[in-house]
Amino acid sequence: MKGLFVLSALGITVLLIAGCTMPESPLPSTGPGKAPATVSALQPQPTSVVPAQYEVSIQVQKNVISTDPWISVVFEGGAGLGYATLMEARVVRSDGVIEEKTAYKPVKGTRLLFNGTTKTDRVIVTVSYVDGSRYTVTDVQVPFRDINPT
């Protein structure tokens, strides 16, 4: 009995030592946090065909002051104003950063502000409705327009 105990303890010790000496596998590198957006990431896609009773208007603007190039997404209402439960906006910036914001139960004048760049960015707006349907209502490029063109 004593021999079985010693043999078991010896086996466990060997397993522990072997496990502790295994080289640790390196974690994969994720690289830098942001990379310039590819042309395809900035290319708008066709929007959804929205039923007439759910149509809404979205206004997208970009500030022309290069020290603060923000993007404004404004819910302007429309026939679907009373049915909209959620407005989701995503900005794909030319420097590779993707920013998303959400407005719950948007009303006319609901505004989402994003940081932009001094190059062309992309804005995608999706609206969800009371029946659970979702439609991409806006997908546009927003260029930076210099107020002093050369």
In CATH, what number is assigned to the domain containing residue 107?
2.60.40.10
Whether 74 is in a domain gets the answer yes
* CA–CA dist 10, 7 (Å, integer): 5
Q: 38 or 25: whose pLDDT is higher?
A: 38
Residue 115 belongs to what H/E stretch?
strand 111-115
Indicate the SS3 state at residue 138: strand
Its pTM stands at: 0.71
- Does 86 fall in a domain? yes
Report pLDDT for 121. Answer: 94
Cα torsion angle, 86, 136, 56, 96, sign: positive
Give how many domains the chain has, as a whole number: 1
Is 12 a member of any domain? no
- The whole domain housing 123 covers 39-142
Q: Please say whether the beta carbons of 58 and 108 come within 8 A.
A: no
Residue 58 maps to a domain: yes
Over the chain, what is the mean pLDDT? 82
Q: Report if residue 10 sits inside a domain.
A: no
Asked if residue 107 is part of any domain, the answer here is: yes
Give the pLDDT confidence of 78-134 residue by residue, as tens digits: 999 999 999 999 999 999 999 999 999 999 999 999 999 999 999 999 999 999 999
**Strands (DSSP E) along 16-66, which ranges?**
57-62
Instruction: Give dist(CA 136, CA 127) in Å, integer.
Output: 6
> Which residue type is seen at 142?
V
